[in-house]
A and B are shown apart, each in its own frame.
Chain A
Amino acid sequence: MSYSLNEIEALSKRATRGAGLSWGIAEETGKATRWLASHDLPGVSLLVDVLRQNDAVARPDIAPQSLDGVWQATSGTLCPLVSGAALNDCAGRLSAGHSVEMANVSHPLLVVPFAAWAAIHIKAPVAVTWLDITIETDGFGLSVDDPKVQINQTSPVTLICTSALQKSNALSAPSHRGNANQAAWQALNAFALRTYAPATEESRILGAGAGTSDND
């Protein structure tokens, strides 16, 4: 089904918060899912999967232990959202010619939007690689080299992000619309529902401060 990018962003943000991540990470996750959707990539489905996987997992277990060396979690797998946000925070490292390597990061496509914003910041394209796939972006456009169809990878991989020379082939431009399958959309709604206060009569009367009648 076709959705506006604002709908995708808003629901992804609420769902991420509903799954227990911080508001700040949720805000950026909304924008990341939006970015992927604008490139017709399945950010919504991957987000649902990672939120399910990490639901009720303590955050320190899925965040990079340190931003030095190869990034890894204390135990288990790195969350692509938390790791992606940290990558964007550290964008300057890429312009200095350093790469960022993450060990055991799940759902690696979700890291790509964060790398894209890093590219905008350093004013140079970046390349994100896992398994046999390489994705390049200047922050807006995208090129995917994916001979073995590993873009929808969910299980943990090693991911490397580096600044890249602009390839000669054109980057595909983002669109203004996104798609999501119904099941994934409903799953996001279920996570988002956790952020809504249950309806009560008291809340209904007092919370919005409206009058009792509008027949005037």
Chain B
Amino acid sequence: MIPQTDTSTQAPLRDPAKVMRLARLGSFHQSRLSFMRILTRRMTRENWTFTRPVFDIDASGVGHAVFCAHTPNRTYSLVAFAHDLPADKRSDRVIAEAWDSTFTLFDGVPTSDDIERLRQNIPLQEAGRVTEKELSVSRANRSVRLWEHVVSRLAAGQQPDAAEITKVGYLMRTTAVYGSGKLGAADREMIASRPEFSAPFQAEMLSVFLIRTYVRDLAQHMAQARGGDATATLDPALARSMGIGNSTGLGMAPFLLNHPKLINNWISARETAIARVRGVVVATDSEVAMFRDLLARSLVSADLWHSTHEIQIEKLAVLRVDLKQLQAYVDGLDLSRESPWEHLFTWAEAEVGIDAQECLASLMLEPYGVLVDDLADRMSDTNVVQFRIDGSMNVATLRSILTRAYGWALTTDWQEKENCARAWYVSEEKLEPRLGERFDEPIVPYEQPLAPGRDAAALHAALETWDADAVIAEFLLAHPEHRHTVRRAQIVDQAPYAEIQDNTIGSDLMPIDMLRCKLSFFGATHFDPRSDRWVRICLFGNAPYPEDLQSETGDDWPYPTLALAPT
């Protein structure tokens, strides 16, 4: 089903069968609708202020600090605990048990009793317990090489080397940012009615924004402890170029599958934005100038993007060539022509790869905040009863939904080993989500329902012997094993971008595609896979720090300036 357009000047939305393929989802780029940018726009618009009431960390780097964000109506406080972590304990895995720093975002200003309670729990992460006063729980580890470089240079009275910074991009990387009720924290529903948290993942993004400031301050503090009076102050431009890293494993992949309506809302918002911009009849000179500037800066960003992973190296090589080709085409193109973006996008679909197409799609939105930023309000899932199954639907209707939304799956041979080679499961070891080999490991009894395509095909087959007029309630009474699939099919019928239209258990599955899709909506850049199921990224790279927010005139911080181009 092609979704209907909702404004008269809008181009048609792209077909979900095209958008929802893993190769494309795994090539998404951040955009104006990314959650970090929704947050920074709000912070600037509402004149949020920031304070650091506590920074009680000793010369060995142990202690705690509090960073407050003051919105027009509330205060949120990042409570950070700094630890002295032995190198042999440093692991980005969920199964780690100690970290360089641990954090929580507190709802309000913590009292000394709160701090003591949090000190007993936050450093333990999953082994601790928090309350509804806490909105997130997270931790971060140092990038050992960049941390040492920056701290030792500053301590010696020198600035760190910009080239070393761009190789890594961050001083610390978070290895989990838990929100929404995890470990006893406040459920999202508790705070979702606050305007600052109405868009998805805003509490988590605020946590990371404040963590970045803490990390910068901690590095300066540690340099000071080592270098004394001779210590240099970190050049603000270098500080700004650093984001916060994040190391992400498989946990994000099930999230995409377990929240079909939410994912639909994210992708539908971005697709609607793309369609609106494609429908622009005439672009003004300033819109065109902004696009050309950010395209040039996107090339810089691609040049600054490092990875040692074979697949990403290849992807990056193609992206760089494609972006150069795109730039050359744009250089020779008169964008004052009628429907310039539709023309350009159609050209790109024929001439460059998926990665560059998606980069262009995000870029085209940049000059059009007025046209697209309102879509941020549609990205949450506020329908709490969407999970209800309509048992009065008849078998014929369900069959037609399956044929329409899962056509690819109905023509897949699920008996072929390569089409079902993998199985998703949860390990009893800290409940870490994992992916295994179905035919080699004893994991089938523990398989999670994360293969919607296979399950849809099984449902379709089971329906074959049922009368077209029979109602689904009767069918489900006889076949409860298809219940979760019927629910998905009914959701997809209402939410066309809800389902990944690809095999999530095939031998050629690249889970990092699913990770990148989700992380691009956070606003992540510089995806750096460590394997097919593990990726490091950069968050808030080049973003303003709290003290910079009010002097920000634009919203283009994810695009590095041309001055940062590698030489």
Contacts and interface: CB of A to CB of B under 8 A. Distances in A.
Given A6-B187, A59-B480, A176-B132, A67 B473 contact: yes
Nearest to A214: B92
Contacts of A206: 436
Given A67-B477, A207-B435, A197 B428 contact: yes
A23 B484 contact: yes
Contacts, number: 172
B480 A21 contact: yes
B530 A210 contact: yes
Nearest to B389: A89
Contact of B385 (A24, A64, A117): A117
B391 A209 contact: no
B84 to A, nearest CB: 15
Contacts of A209: 249-250, 435, 511, 530-534
A69 to B, nearest CB: 14
A199 B429 contact: yes
A85 B487 CA distance: 12
B476 A89 contact: yes
B480 A199 contact: no
B439 interface: no
B87 A215 contact: yes
Nearest to B431: A196
Nearest to A211: B530
A204 interface: yes
Contacts of B153: none
* Interface range, A side: 35 or more
A90 interface: yes
A25 B426 CA distance: 19
A2, A22, A204, A209: residue with the most chain B Cβ atoms closer than 10 Å: A209
A67 B474 contact: yes
Nearest to A6: B181
A55 interface: no
A39 interface: no
Nearest to A7: B181
B182 A25 contact: no
B24 interface: no
A7 B184 contact: yes
A92, A195, A196, A207: residue with the most chain B Cβ atoms closer than 10 Å: A207
B497 interface: no
A165 B246 CA distance: 54
Contacts of B473: 67, 86, 89-90
A203 B189 contact: no
B247 interface: yes
Interface string A171-211: 00000110000000000000001011111001110111111
Contacts of A3: 184
Interface residues of B, number: 68
B533 A208 contact: yes
A151 interface: no
B449 A23 contact: yes
Contacts of B189: 5, 176
A139 B92 CA distance: 43
A160 B487 CA distance: 26
A203 B95 CA distance: 12
A74 interface: no
B519 interface: no
Given A4-B187, A67-B474, A24 B486 contact: yes
B180 interface: yes
A36 interface: no
Interface stretch (B104-112, B138-146, B282-290): B138-146
B265 to A, nearest CB: 19
Interface string B277-299: 00000000000000000000000
Contacts of B250: 208-209
Nearest to A177: B132
B181, B531, B533: residue with the most chain A Cβ atoms closer than 10 Å: B181
A211 B472 contact: no
A214 to B, nearest CB: 4
Contact of B434 (A92, A208, A211, A214): A208
Given A86-B477, A195-B426, A196-B446, A210 B484 contact: no
B427 A196 contact: yes
Contact of B388 (A5, A22, A121): A121
A24 B250 CA distance: 23
Nearest to B388: A117
Interface string A79-114: 000100110111110000000000000000000000
A40 to B, nearest CB: 15
B131 interface: yes
Given A86-B473, A88-B388, A209-B532, A197 B446 contact: yes
A199 B446 CA distance: 12
A89 B391 contact: yes
A197 B434 contact: yes
B185 interface: yes
A210 B530 CA distance: 7
A6 B285 CA distance: 50
A176 B186 contact: yes
A41 interface: no
B387 interface: yes
B395 to A, nearest CB: 14
A162 B391 CA distance: 18
A27 B431 contact: no
A84 B485 CA distance: 18
B313 interface: no
A85 B533 CA distance: 36
Interface of B: 87, 90-95, 131-132, 141, 143-145, 180-182, 184-190, 247, 249-250, 385, 387-392, 425-429, 431-436, 441-443, 446, 449, 472-474, 476-477, 480-487, 511, 530-534
The 3 A-B residue pairs with the shortest CB-CB distance in the complex, in nearest-first order:
A24-B483, A89-B391, A207-B434
Interface of A: 2-7, 21-25, 27-28, 31, 59, 63-64, 67, 82, 85-86, 88-92, 117, 120-121, 139, 176-177, 193, 195-199, 202-204, 206-211, 214-216
Given A86-B391, A89-B390, A214-B141, 11 more contacts: A24-B389, A24-B476, A24-B480, A28-B387, A31-B387, A121-B385, A196-B428, A208-B250, A210-B93, A211-B530, A216-B144
21 contacts: A6-B182, A6-B187, A23-B483, A24-B480, A24-B483, A24-B484, A24-B486, A27-B484, A63-B480, A91-B388, A117-B388, A121-B388, A176-B186, A197-B436, A203-B441, A208-B93, A208-B432, A209-B250, A210-B92, A210-B249, A215-B90
